Structure 1
């Protein structure tokens, strides 16, 4: 199996992550416990866990933090991830914001329905979650898959979106060579999904070092998903192409990408910034597909400045 994975891993790692992405020095390298300690010194609190049954029929697990009456920010994780993708960022959020980090359908500890895993289905869950929490409008912050779901909500339910933060994103996944190569391997998976594949998939998203404990958590969370959710979710991502509609987005938008993103090239990232009127685009040097994890200090500083201007 490992031999069969090599072509895919070579594509995912073409940016040159190195043999051990959890080692090395970086001014942004910080463990989750260290980030929590920083938050405690600043008067922060540990996120609260909860679950909610939605009108779409799924039960979503989530964590929340911040002022109950503060501006709402909803965090949407990437493909096969969970709310833990934001572990290095949540402790740095100002407690003036009411932040929800979701486990989306099929992912983390949320329910895994037999159907459906289209971007439209994920987007309807987000709106149903806002309804359940009696939130009229929210800022949506999404990484990779989560960024496309955030785009979908802004297009299909524009009155519910106050702003967008799109991380490791592009105008579409349709036709993306890396996604199509990933699909070839994912389609071969049976339960349980190959642990070596999961580790190489997750490790391949990073260019700058990340904490070993953080990577271990991501691998553990991805391991919760049955093969059918890996397959159906990726199929849904590849099938949807709303790039021609992005000019209709009329909310403040911040796009953050890495110059060594192994999924979406800098040109694809810039195409997204050109497609959304007035979007601000920040390109992080020496950074891969996950700026929020590879550069959490800079990332949260940029996000906070954006949110405070809304």
Structure 2
């Protein structure tokens, strides 16, 4: 039995990325489900969010995007930084939300990052050599040269304001007290070779705060950029998740 309202996926990208990170996943799902992936404020082609660069300001902007596109029933697909934003929006229990799929998410608690790493990331802004180094650190599977260039280009076109705001503030925000308000089905997917956010971080910091029965699935050989490195696995997970929320 099909639902009266079609299901749409809303992709929220990683820090220093853009919505085009979801292009391959969107293509794999297109025969059955639309996937919309906006650039988040200060990244890609997006201007700064009207309310600033807090996690809630990003959630406001995503809610406005969903309303503008007249999306009915939807699943938030939050990758890394986008995961924290997805959880902030889900805790508001917005109309139409059917579920939350988290890909290597930034946890609702302050993101585990040493001050040394935070400072190094700040100093890396706008430097092509550092963008290449970051690419090597956050990916584990080989990628086509075109995608390699795209990831580096997205890093370099991030605005300074958005770059610093996440490092200094957004990544440190603590949303844990709100997670009891996330009442829709959730799922987490992570790569076992993720040098930024290991599966143990998700198991310790995110999973215990989500609804009972939330699965944590691991992709072997994948790093942090799951939509790029494992689009087939991500699309398959989202298809299974869509079937689950159809009857939820």
Q: What's the TM-score once normalised by structure 1's chain length?
A: 0.71
Output the CA distance in 1 between the equivalents of 2:241 and 2:50: 38
- 1:306 deviates by 1.1
Which runs of structure 2 are paired with 1:140-159 in the superposition (5 Å)? 140-159=76-95
Over aligned residues, Cα RMSD in angstroms? 2.2
2:208 is aligned with 1:274: yes
Point out the structure with max Rg over C-alpha: 1
- 1:141 deviates by 0.3
Question: Which position in structure 1 is the counterpart of 2:239?
Answer: 304
CA 80–71 in structure 1, closer or farther in 2 if over 3 Å, else same? same
- 1:286 deviates by 2.0
- Which range is displaced more, 123-132 or 90-99? 90-99
Output the CA distance in 2 between the equivalents of 1:173 and 1:198: 27
Deviations 1:81-115 (CA, angstroms, capped at 9, x unpaired): 01121132121014332321111111111123686
Question: Which position in structure 1 is the counterpart of 2:137?
Answer: 204
2:152 is aligned with 1:216: no
CA 184–160 in structure 1, closer or farther in 2 if over 3 Å, else same? farther
- The answer for unaligned runs of 5 or more in structure 2 is none
Question: Which position in structure 2 is the counterpart of 1:13?
Answer: none
SS at match of 1:256: strand
Query: Does the 8 Å contact 1:252/1:279 carry over to 2?
Result: yes
Question: Which position in structure 2 is the counterpart of 1:56?
Answer: none
SS at match of 2:37: strand
Question: Which position in structure 1 is the counterpart of 2:183?
Answer: 250
CA 175–148 in structure 1, closer or farther in 2 if over 3 Å, else same? closer
Q: In structure 1, which of residues 114, 121, 125 is the aligned counterpart of residue 61 of structure 2? A: 125
- 1:291 deviates by 2.5
Question: Which position in structure 2 is the counterpart of 1:177?
Answer: 113
SS at match of 1:139: strand
- 1:182 deviates by 3.7
- 1:175 deviates by 5.1
Output the CA distance in 2 between the equivalents of 1:245 and 1:114: 23
Query: Does the 8 Å contact 2:101/2:186 carry over to 1?
Result: yes
Output the CA distance in 2 between the equivalents of 1:202 and 1:106: 20
Output the CA distance in 1 between the equivalents of 2:244 and 2:111: 35
Query: Does the 8 Å contact 1:258/1:291 carry over to 2?
Result: yes
- 1:290 deviates by 2.2
Output the CA distance in 2 between the equivalents of 1:184 and 1:114: 27
Which runs of structure 2 are paired with 1:30-179 in the superposition (5 Å)? 70-112=6-48, 116-172=52-108, 174=110, 176-177=112-113
CA 137–163 in structure 1, closer or farther in 2 if over 3 Å, else same? same
Output the CA distance in 2 between the equivalents of 1:281 and 1:273: 8
Query: Does the 8 Å contact 2:106/2:171 carry over to 1?
Result: no
The alignment covers a number of residue pairs equal to 239
- 1:173 deviates by 5.8
SS at match of 2:146: helix
Moved segments of 4+, more than 4 Å = none
